[in-house]
Every structure is written in structure tokens, then in C-alpha cells.
Amino acid sequence: MLSALARPAPQARDRAAPLPAAIDAARLATLAVESLIAEASLTPKPGLVDGRGSGAHADLDLALMHRSARALFPCFSAMAGAVAGAAPSRQVREQLAAIGRDGEAAMFAATVGINTHKGAIWSLGLLIAGAVMASRPGDAVEVAAIAGRIARHSDSRMPTDASNGSRVAARYGVPGARGEAQDGFPHVVRVGLPALRRARSRGIAETFARLDALLAIMAVLDDTCLLHRGGRDALDRAKTGAAEILRRGGTSTKPGRDALDQLDVDLLALNASPGGSGDLFAATLFLDSLTHLSSGAPVGLEQNGDFSQWKP
């Protein structure tokens, strides 16, 4: 079932052409890891781990998030290599899932059993495969549409135990991470990326542009992480708070920053974290980096900017 944000997916070609030399498997894996690091480092994010601290996650910190992201390089590189020359199919879906489960094991080894990036392995893995198969790897819509076609295939080896996200999605009747992927990542290509690029076009500094893009996703996403940790109250507070920040002019303005600080306080009081929005924001940065790389422009994933106006 397509969400309200989804649009018809363009037809992908039957076979993938070789990746451009600048976008080989190692480069794709590097961009995916750097996107996760950039997402974690972006500060200040409401309820999430960032440069100030652990947010609503008592068992996480920024160093752990970085270590987890780096541990996923072999997983992402293997995913890119596995689908070279292939088209979306059940076989591809199952190959990616098997590699992703190995990636989860590497993540848990790096974090001593803490789930830091399980959702991101799913989303970024599909988008990496989409980039390999796309005729235009810099075209975010094409890449996401191909990723959606892969996600709509079944995986006969999928674990029978339901995840927190899938249980919450079923309970509240929301798409969740699986539905987002199957719909072609609408909150990335139709919300996060446009918000990021609009902010840049207005001359807003990169830190604020990225924060505004994250908030744009939060304002409309039925985030299963929020629902899992705080129910409808947490989701409603995150959505209305994010929308209010943007209504006040975004994080580059004093009224917007004041509203952001208040939303952070409110989510911490609810012990709620918009982790699903964080994963989709990392996917936004990944697709944005592919566009830059394809055009020959500097990628600049490390440029999260200065956040000294907020107290650590």
C-alpha cells in the first residue's frame, strides 16, 4: 500500500550499467558511513544523540555511534558489490538481507550488544543497491524508486520474531521502516531533500539547513521509534514541535532555536527519541552526497558547522 507521500516509481532499466569510477562499491560504502557519522554529529537534535550528550538514549553516546557506523563499512561495501549487474528481484532482496544480518552482527560486536543502526542498515543498504542499479546514480528519485522495488520483494529467510518497529507499525497502523522503503522513501525524496536544498538556496548555514531538513521529516513522519518509546503523546509532541520550529523561521532564527530547545526538553521528559527520523535524515544526506559526487561538486558530509550557540 502506497503512503500519501508516495508517487509512482519510474521504470528502472532491466540491467545495471557499471558504476562510474568515482562511485564504486568502496566509495558508496564510505558515503553511507559518513552519512551516519554526520547524522549523529549534527547538533543540537531533539531527543537524539549528538555533540551535547546521549539525548533520550542512556546507553548511547556519540563515540559509540561513530564506532558503530565505521563497523558497517564492510557490510555496505559487500551490498554494493553483491548487486552489481543485477536488477531488483527476490534474489537481490535476500542477498541484501543476508549481508545486512552480518552487518548487524558487526554492529553488535562494535557496540557490545547495543542496537545503534539496525534501521539504517536496512534503509542505506537498499539505497546503496539502488545507486548501483540506477542509470543516474545522482538522481535521488530514481535511486529511491529502485530501492523501493527491491524492498517490495519478500525475504524467505527473514527472522520470524517481530521487531519493535514492526510491532509498533502494526499496532498503530503506520507504514514503519518497511513501508517507507517499499514506497520509495517518500519522506527522504519529497520532504528531507527538498527542505535541505531550499534552506541552502536561501543562504542558510549548513548546520541549520541540516537541522531544518531533519525537523521537516519529524513534522510529518509517523516515527515508530517515538511511538515505541512514548506512544501517540510523544509522536504528537514531536510533530507539532518540529512544525512550530519551522513556522518560526527554522533553526537559523532565535525564535526557532528557542522552540527547538523546548522540544528537546519535552522529548527528554517523555524519554522519547525520533530515531526513525534520524535514520531517514541519514538517508537524505546519503542521497544528497550522491548528487554532489555525480556532479563533481564537493560532498562535504563532514561540514556540520558550529553549534557553539547552544550549551553543551
Q: Is 12 left (phi over 0), alpha (psi -120 to 50) or beta?
A: beta
Q: Please, is 225 exposed, middle or buried when counting C-beta atoms within 10 Å of its C-beta (0-12, 13-18, 19+)?
A: buried
Kindly tell me if the per-residue pLDDT of 16 is higher than 60: no
Spatial distance between the Cα atoms of 92 and 87, rounded to a whole number of angstroms: 8
Domain ranges of the chain: 21-155+170-295
- Residues above pLDDT 90, as percent of the chain: 79
Q: What is the pTM of this model?
A: 0.89
- Computed over every residue of the chain, the mean pLDDT equals 88
Q: Under a CB-based contact definition with an 8 Å cutoff, are residues 77 and 119 in contact?
A: no
- Residues above pLDDT 70, as percent of the chain: 86
Kindly tell me if the per-residue pLDDT of 308 is higher than 70: no
Using the Cα atoms of residue 235, residue 143, residue 210 and residue 74 in order, give the sign of their dihedral: positive
Confidence of residue 283 (pLDDT cuts 50, 70, 90): very high
What does the pLDDT look like over 118-171, one tens digit per residue? Answer: 999 999 999 999 999 999 999 999 999 999 999 999 988 877 676 777 888 899
Confidence of residue 303 (pLDDT cuts 50, 70, 90): low
Cβ atoms < 10 Å from Cβ of 80: 23
Rg (CA), the chain: 18
Cβ atoms < 10 Å from Cβ of 307: 18
